[in-house]
Amino acid sequence: SQTIHQWPATLVQPVGSPLSLECTVEGTSNPNLYWYRQAAGRGLQLLFYSIGIGQISSEVPQNLSASRPQDRQFILSSKKLLLSDSGFYLCAWNSRGNTDTQYFGPGTRLTVL
Amino acid sequence: EDQVTQSPEALRLQEGESSSLNCSYTVSGLRGLFWYRQDPGKGPEFLFTLYSAGEEKEKERLKATLTKKESFLHITAPKPEDSATYLCAVQAGRNFNKFYFGSGTKLNVKP
């Protein structure tokens, strides 16, 4: 069966510091991968998605970036965090051959102070 | 503009009191509509996928239905463990990598 991991689970960072969040998927090959941010009481905002290694689509212009160095690894980064980057970050995957249902990881709670 | 609206924002039920959650959507060429359950501090857990108007799916006390403009999540005789936020999402046909999420309905079932 497929499993999706995210780390760290929680992170507290000062404004202006760098960020690296990691997501890995097990038990599947060639997945589509997604990064979402969820603000308190709000819906999920799609940040990036990737259909393959090195292929990244950005949905929201901001100081975040994403990379996919390996087939089942997706990384969310920032060079300098802003207060507004605080939130709950979720990674998701779905099958390349059946691009409907997404499955989510446990999430990373990021607080920028 | 593609949009998903969920109502009510919050719902308090007594144990055993059945009710329905609504998800209305405007999207060009619906490819799929999805329901998720999210517990506090956790990632959304997949419940159902619906593809076409008239389709219904059931799981335990939950039943999801779909029309051309909205979906309902019916909860029959809920228990306290059904308390969670329920999220609805739609996938448009023209760019099936984009999923539009509603802001959710927070359900609280009291014993």
The verdict on B32 touching A (C-beta cutoff 8 Å) is yes
pLDDT for residue B98:
83
Tens digit of each residue's pLDDT (9 = 90 or more) over B11-54:
999 999 999 999 999 988 888 999 999 999 999 999 999 999 99
Subunit contact B43:A90, Cβ cutoff 8 A: yes
Q: Which chain B residue is nearest to residue A50, measuring alpha carbons?
A: B97
Average pLDDT, chain A: 92
Hey, what domains does chain A have and what are their CATH numbers? Answer: 3-112 (2.60.40.10)
Distance between CA A13 and CA A16 in Å, rounded?
9
Average pLDDT, chain B: 93
- Residues with Cβ within 8 Å of A99's Cβ and at least 6 positions away in sequence, in order, are A32, B96, B97
The verdict on B98 touching A (C-beta cutoff 8 Å) is yes
Q: Which residues are bridge partners to A111 per DSSP?
A: A12
Structural domain spans, chain B: 3-104
Distance between CA A8 and CA A67 in Å, rounded?
17
Using the predicted structure, report yes or no on whether residue A98 has a pLDDT greater than 80.
no
pLDDT for residue B4:
93
The verdict on A105 touching B (C-beta cutoff 8 Å) is yes
B residues 40..79 contacting A (CB < 8 A): 41-46, 49
| Chain A nearest CA to B78, separation (Å) | 23
pLDDT for residue B30:
85
CATH code of the domain made up of B3-104: 2.60.40.10
Q: Which residues are bridge partners to B34 per DSSP?
A: B49, B89
Mean pLDDT of the A60-69 span: 89
The verdict on A104 touching B (C-beta cutoff 8 Å) is yes
Cα separations in angstroms, B90 against A24, A29, A98, B32, B76: 24, 24, 15, 6, 24
Using the predicted structure, report yes or no on whether residue B87 has a pLDDT greater than 80.
yes
Using the predicted structure, report yes or no on whether residue A1 has a pLDDT greater than 70.
yes
The answer to whether B35 touches B73, Cβ cutoff 8 Å, is yes
Number of A–B residue contacts, CB under 8 Å = 58
Using the predicted structure, report yes or no on whether residue A99 has a pLDDT greater than 80.
no
Subunit contact B43:A57, Cβ cutoff 8 A: no
pLDDT for residue B3:
87
- The kind and range of the H/E element at A50 are strand A44-52
Chain A residues inside the 8 Å CB shell of B97 = 32, 34, 49, 51, 57, 99
